[in-house]
A and B are shown apart, each in its own frame.
Chain A
C-alpha cells in the first residue's frame, strides 16, 4: 500500500499568481500522476511524473502552465502558473502499486 500526504489542502489565490502543490509518498514509486478535477466533473490526467526525466503531459496540458518536479522516488510537486479563475479545481496526485491506486486528499484551489 501507499500513503500520500498532499499539501496544501486548500488555498485561495489571486489571478496571475502561481501555486506549488506537494505530494509525499511513504514508499518509493516509479510513476506519480497528477490529476485535475473541475467542479462537478470527473478526473482528468494532467501529466505523469517520472523520477529522473521530464514529465509526460496529456493533450491540452503544457509544461509552461503546469511545471512538475520529481526529484526522487517519494516526492513530486505540481505548480499551477499564472492562474486564472478557470484553474479553480481540485488537484490530486496519485500512485499505483500492487494493483491498487492511491490518492492524495487533494488540493482545492480557488482563484479570484
Chain B
C-alpha cells in the first residue's frame, strides 16, 4: 500500500462545478503539500499545511491530522484549472517529500 493515496485518479467536470480531491496518508508527517502540475510539466506549490485550513483565491485546502486526511477544493472551477494535482507529505522535514500519484483534473467549458 502506498504511503500517500489520492482519489480520484481522474476527474472530469463542467466549468463552474465545485471540485474536491482527497489525500490520505499512513505515516506521521511534519507537513502536507498540495501542488499543481500543468501539461507542460511545470510544478507550482499551492499550499503547505500542518493543521486546519488554508484558502487562496478559489482554492481551499484542509487537513485532519487525527484522520490523516487532506482535501483540496476548487470553487467555481474553470478550464484553466485543468492540471494534475498532487498531494505530498513531509515525514522528517517539511520539504523532503513522499508524493501521491496525482489527480488529473479536466474542466470542460
Contacts and interface: CB of A to CB of B under 8 A. Distances in A.
A94 B101 CA distance: 18
A44 interface: yes
Contact of B101 (A42, A95, A100, A108): A42
A31 B86 contact: no
A103 B43 CA distance: 6
Contact of A96 (B42, B94, B101): B94
A95 B94 CA distance: 11
A41 to B, nearest CB: 7
B48 interface: yes
Contacts of A90: 41
A33 B42 contact: no
Contacts of B94: 96, 99
Nearest to B49: A99
A102 B95 CA distance: 10
B63 to A, nearest CB: 14
Contacts of B100: 42
Interface string A36-78: 0000011111001000000000000000000000000000000
Interface of A: 31, 33, 41-45, 48, 90, 92, 94-96, 99-103, 105-106, 108
Interface of B: 33, 35, 41-43, 45, 48, 86, 88, 93-102
